[in-house]
Amino acid sequence: MASIRDGENELSILGRKTEYRQDYAPEVLEAFTNKHQGNDYWVRFHCPEFTSLCPITGQPDYATIHISYIPDVKMVESKSLKLYLFSFRNHGAFHEDCVNIIMKDLIELMNPRYIEVLGDFTPRGGISILPFCNYGRPGTKYEELASQRLASYPVR
């Protein structure tokens, strides 16, 4: 049976002093080996304190980011994900760009079987924006997964 400490050599951020980046920093993302590669299961993150900047006005935008994925060989380490999401704080990007950038960076990091990212952005001027993006490898039936999962997301 694998020890709980197996895979520690794959991670460099966990257990060390936290250093927050002030610029967009995909390089802080770290992955570790999935110990249950034979199982299809969901990993979900709910990040209610996401902040980025409007690229035109420089005003802050606030969102809850929902990330759900079905891992394959690699999984994202949660502290590195937190630091990565924090790195958007001073990054200028539209809401739609943010969710697509997050998804693409996570695909590059871990090559999941399926992933989706939804941004539930705080209303501005009376309009809420909820951009959603997803990716599924051929054979994952990601269209069915996406429609089932979208129905479960909160809408204001």
Q: Is 96 labelled as part of a ligand binding site? A: yes
* Sign for the pseudo-dihedral over CA of 89, 93, 94, 96: negative
CB-based burial, 7-16: b 16+ in 10 Å, e otherwise: beeeeebeee
User: Distance between CA 101 and CA 147 in Å, rounded?
Assistant: 21
User: Distance between CA 72 and CA 63 in Å, rounded?
Assistant: 28
Q: Is 78 labelled as part of a ligand binding site? A: yes
The residue annotated as part of the active site, out of 6, 40, 54, 97, is 54
Q: For residue 98, indicate whether it is catalytic.
A: no
User: Distance between CA 102 and CA 88 in Å, rounded?
Assistant: 10
Q: Is 46 labelled as part of a ligand binding site? A: no
Q: Is 28 labelled as part of a ligand binding site? A: no
| 100, 119 contact by CB (below 8 A) | no
DSSP letter for 31, please: E
Q: For residue 54, indicate whether it is catalytic.
A: yes
Which two three-digit tokens encode residue 104? 């693409």
The residue annotated as part of the active site, out of 6, 47, 61, 133, is 61
Q: Is 10 labelled as part of a ligand binding site? A: no
**Annotated binding-site ranges for substrate:** 76-78, 95-96
**Annotated binding-site ranges:** 76-78, 95-96
Q: Give the active site residues.
A: 54, 61
